[in-house]
Structure 1
């Protein structure tokens, strides 16, 4: 354990990861979304693909724990079960695809997915059809595959719930609960596959500290009357992070 912790703290680019974790936490704190879209493109530039996946999952696992009981009370449990069930089926497929992706391709894929999600958010793209069980199951499958392939399970679920008739509190609770269970599912699947590496787990737990600080800071500076400004700032940060991962600057 001490050797693994020392290796985690000696990770090249650790300063960038700490900064990305802090800023990602701030974005989530004042905008309510986008932490993965900020952190993963940066992590993909300094970590192997599987390590990036493990690191963000370990980082995100601790922070939401105090809020999970309330989230489970408010979430749409039927939809949540469907999302998680479909994710469990598709996640191993995403991980299998990840094992065949070169680091450079992973980095580019993550950045393009982040930019695509940003375009959907800025453009107000919404699913207009009925939100039936099949649609929810399909979304869970897409989220599981993308989570295994690119460490970004959130975009399909967020786009689904943007079209939900549920109150905002239910939507936020459902997304929070889903992402928490995704992290648990990922750790479980990797453990079963004997692919759960200790060093990125410890790295993620260490990065949970600046991430939590960012969450608290973002929540502290949030003012409901300036929500549009916060969203614009969040969109700008996501854009910078995603663009930094593209092979345009090499």
Structure 2
């Protein structure tokens, strides 16, 4: 008779190992680029945790992951723009979460992978916005990020593409994106609580995943050097592509 292995956090050992690896890899990518946790974690973890389970786990672990890099990021961030981004996000995030509650899980997985690959293609092709940047535009980018963050768990693409198109130092871009995503975690956690979507098991799992995610963030931040920006972006792009493709429902 085969020996059965007890599940932990409602997950079999193999599935849990995959989720832990996703947390570590997502933290590593975010540590040296300032973004990428959701782009890496969600495609890998959603098949095992479900849409809302993956979002809750991501939010819980992501609050702790960026902590080693927050102080340095705060010194470089564009604070007025950060405020506008967060304000726009707060207005549309609940709309995106409501839409997510109305669609099947498979559609969520397709949305996550499609958005991840679309953002990656835009970055690789060098698509840039070259027009003037106004205050209202920054708030609108935050609003787009909030909706996408609710419906697909990906607030980053709109903000990342916008900031990477601006003639700013990589340290400023990285800091602004990192701090916006950190604020997003608190917003979505609050909205999920109001919606009654938080569960003890998934919350505890997310807090546990903060350990490998924190390790990945620390390692990525330690490896980050502005002079090696091209190398780091190439590695991040490869990780995002692999994660997005692995998360497609086509594979089961």
- For normalisation by structure 1, the TM-score amounts to 0.89
Gaps of at least 5 residues in structure 1 are 1-5
User: Which residue, 136, 139, 142 being the options, matches 1:137?
Assistant: 139
Other-structure match for 1:179: 181
Other-structure match for 2:91: 89
8 Å contact from structure 2 (residues 85, 180) kept in 1 = yes
User: Which residue, 220, 230, 233 being the options, matches 2:232?
Assistant: 230
Cα distance in 1 for residues equivalent to 2:82 and 2:54: 25
Other-structure match for 2:21: 19
8 Å contact from structure 1 (residues 7, 199) kept in 2 = no
Cα distance in 1 for residues equivalent to 2:222 and 2:86: 31
Tell me the alpha carbon deviations over residues 188-220 of structure 1, each in whole angstroms, 9 at most, x when there is no partner. 122233332222221111111111222233344
Other-structure match for 1:128: 130
Cα distance in 2 for residues equivalent to 1:73 and 1:203: 32
Cα distance in 2 for residues equivalent to 1:40 and 1:87: 20
Gaps of at least 5 residues in structure 2 are 1-5
Number of aligned pairs? 245
Q: 1:177 and 1:30, CA in 2 relative to 1: closer, same or farther beyond 3 A?
A: closer
User: Which residue, 152, 156, 160 being the options, matches 2:154?
Assistant: 152
Cα distance in 2 for residues equivalent to 1:8 and 1:120: 39
Cα RMSD after superposing both structures: 2.1
Q: CA deviation at 1:7?
A: 7.6
Q: CA deviation at 1:100?
A: 0.8
Other-structure match for 1:47: 49
1:128 counterpart SS class: coil
- For normalisation by structure 2, the TM-score amounts to 0.89
8 Å contact from structure 1 (residues 8, 202) kept in 2 = no
Q: 1:245 and 1:208, CA in 2 relative to 1: closer, same or farther beyond 3 A?
A: same
Q: 1:231 and 1:165, CA in 2 relative to 1: closer, same or farther beyond 3 A?
A: closer
Q: 1:126 and 1:183, CA in 2 relative to 1: closer, same or farther beyond 3 A?
A: same
8 Å contact from structure 2 (residues 66, 214) kept in 1 = no
8 Å contact from structure 2 (residues 34, 178) kept in 1 = no
2:250 counterpart SS class: coil
Cα distance in 1 for residues equivalent to 2:181 and 2:34: 13
Q: 1:152 and 1:8, CA in 2 relative to 1: closer, same or farther beyond 3 A?
A: farther
Q: 1:169 and 1:228, CA in 2 relative to 1: closer, same or farther beyond 3 A?
A: closer
Other-structure match for 1:170: 172
